[in-house]
Amino acid sequence: MLRKGPRRTSLSLLAAFALGTWGVALADPPTLSVRQQATLSNPFEVAVVVEANCGDGATTAAVVEVAVRQGEFTGDGTMFFSSNGTRQAILVPVGGGPFFIGDAIASATLGCSDLLQGLILGATIKITAP
């Protein structure tokens, strides 16, 4: 039987402190976003910038894949990168098309250490002149 008093209060405070600091030690979750503006490199390539963060520190096994659809034409591109544990802007050349200046739809995936960590589907982007 537990006694009431200072000892019980001390155990409760110790447990709360331990659980509280454990929750703070967790890493930030991975994030992925597609910038709304892309650049038309040529009629068969669009430069799309994504912002990615693997969230759990540095890793050399990170990859972003982007697909773009404009009307009935599509294209895709892949960029491998080294994640440094912070949010990074990554330029992904997307080949296919033909593409033109105007609105398009982009989807992206983020893989960190061989695991799918982020997914963006159907983001509206605007393809602009260089």
pLDDT means per 10 residues, the chain with 130 residues, are: 52 48 58 96 97 83 95 96 91 96 97 86 94
pLDDT, residue 50, reads 96
Asked if 115 contacts 34 with a C-beta cutoff of 8 angstroms, the reply is no
Q: What is the pLDDT of residue 114?
A: 76
CA–CA gap between residue 120 and residue 130 (Å, rounded): 25
pLDDT of residue 24: 46
pLDDT of residue 21: 45
**pLDDT at 58 (0 to 100):** 77
Q: Sort 110 into a burial class: Cβ within 10 Å, 0-12 / 13-18 / 19+.
A: buried
CATH of domain 31-128: 2.60.40.10
Taking the complete model, does pTM exceed 0.85, yes or no?
no
